[in-house]
Amino acid sequence: MNLALDVASGVLMMAGAVIGVIAAFGLLRLPDVFARMHVATKPATLGVTLCLAGAALRVPGASTSTKLVLAIVFQLATTPAAGHLLGRAAHAARAPMSRHTVIDELRPLPQSPEDHPSP
């Protein structure tokens, strides 16, 4: 039983850390602000969740595990909201997009062509 807990906790923590490293490489390599934001909010939800869940399995005391679960819930609730806010702000600030961008759903409607002179 103890060994099983150890293995599960180790696998979860390792998966979270590996996701964090992959996302950090993505931050360095991806072309524009929106792609980098996309890659940065994944470890902040999935990586932190895995890491904290692995720790919650192994940490001493039920109150500590409860705190870790609370931290997971909080992280899951706030990170998407923060990413959404930042994405809107970057779009409002006219952050340049990669040339591979397929669709920009926040662009102004075509009735007002003076809003964005370039097509």
Partner 1 sequence: MNLVTDIVLGLLALASVLCVVRALIPGSTVDRAIALDGVVSAIICAVAVAAVRTGNGTYVDIALVGGLLGFLTLSTVARYVGRRGS
**Count of beta carbons in the 10 Å neighbourhood of residue 67:** 14
Count the residues of the shown chain that bind partner 1, applying the rule CB under 8 A: 54
Helices (H), the chain: 2-29, 33-42, 48-58, 62-92
Closest contact distance (angstroms) between CB of 108 and partner 1 is 12
Cα separations in angstroms, 38 against 5, 16, 27, 41, 97: 33, 17, 9, 6, 13
Q: Which residues contact 102 (CB under 8 A, 6 or more apart)?
A: none
Ranges within 2-61 binding partner 1 (CB under 8 A): 6, 9-10, 13-14, 16-18, 20-21, 23-25, 27-28, 33, 36-37, 40, 43-44, 47-48, 51-52, 54-56, 58-61
Q: Which residue ranges make up the site for partner 1 (CB under 8 A)?
A: 6, 9-10, 13-14, 16-18, 20-21, 23-25, 27-28, 33, 36-37, 40, 43-44, 47-48, 51-52, 54-56, 58-61, 63-64, 67-68, 70-71, 74-75, 78-79, 81-83, 85-86, 88-90, 92-95
